[in-house]
Amino acid sequence: MEEQAMTWTVRLFGICVVFVTLGCASGVSTQARSQITYQGSFSELQKAPDEYRGETVMFGGKVLRTDASQTASEIAVLQMPLDTSYKPKDTDASEGRFLIRSDRFLDPAIYEQGRPVTVVGRLSGKQAKFIGGFEYVYPVVEAMEIKAWPWPRQKTSPSVHFGIGVGTWF
């Protein structure tokens, strides 16, 4: 009887370890993160992107638009600060915009407007484009790895629940 209880305890512990490990996975590979050479802020880089050409960076934000062809893609991103799992925070705080370039097709249905993304890539310089009636200079990141995060969950019910028992609430 005691041996059986010990076996169940070990199994339960193993299952918990698996779930905790999966829950802590960042979505951005350790290999890509190990290549990052730029540790400064986005706003510092934004001021003089050419000074940091060749640096490997990690930035995140929300997709503004995606232009794709069979051989290349470009994603315009509104920069957002990253949380501890390297996912863009859902906030109004932003230090600017940047472009992600890839030499492969990135489907605009996946990288659609508003989707949170994180990129690790090499800074290749800057590109000026117009936003409304003024010129804006975008830092350009050549993608090594892009993580499209799941859409944020929409609140469909009150955030405070009162209930009795397991799975019952009113």
* pLDDT at 152 (0 to 100): 74
Residue 138 is assigned to a structural domain of this protein? yes
Distance between CA atoms of residues 145 and 147, nearest Å: 7
84 domain-assigned: yes
Residues contacting 33, CB < 8 A, separation 6+: 26, 58, 86, 120
Structural domain boundaries, residue 141:
30-148
Q: What is the CATH number of the domain that holds 90?
A: 2.40.50.140
- Work out how many domains the chain is built from and give that number: 1
Chunked mean pLDDT (size 10), the chain, 170 residues: 53 40 65 96 94 97 95 96 95 95 96 97 96 94 97 63 56
- 83 located within any domain: yes
Question: In this structure, are residues 139 and 108 in contact, taking their beta carbons and an 8 Å threshold?
Answer: no
104 lies in some domain: yes
The reply to whether 9 falls in a domain is no
**Is the residue at 24 inside a domain?**
no
Contact by Cβ (8 Å): 72, 101 = yes
18 phi/psi in degrees, rounded to 5 = -60, -50
Question: Would you state the pLDDT for residue 19?
Answer: 38
Residue 155: inside a domain:
no
User: Residue 140: which of 111, 108, 97, 82 has the closest Cα?
Assistant: 97
pLDDT score at 21: 38
Cα gap 94→81, rounded to integer Å: 7
Given this model, what pLDDT does residue 12 score? 39
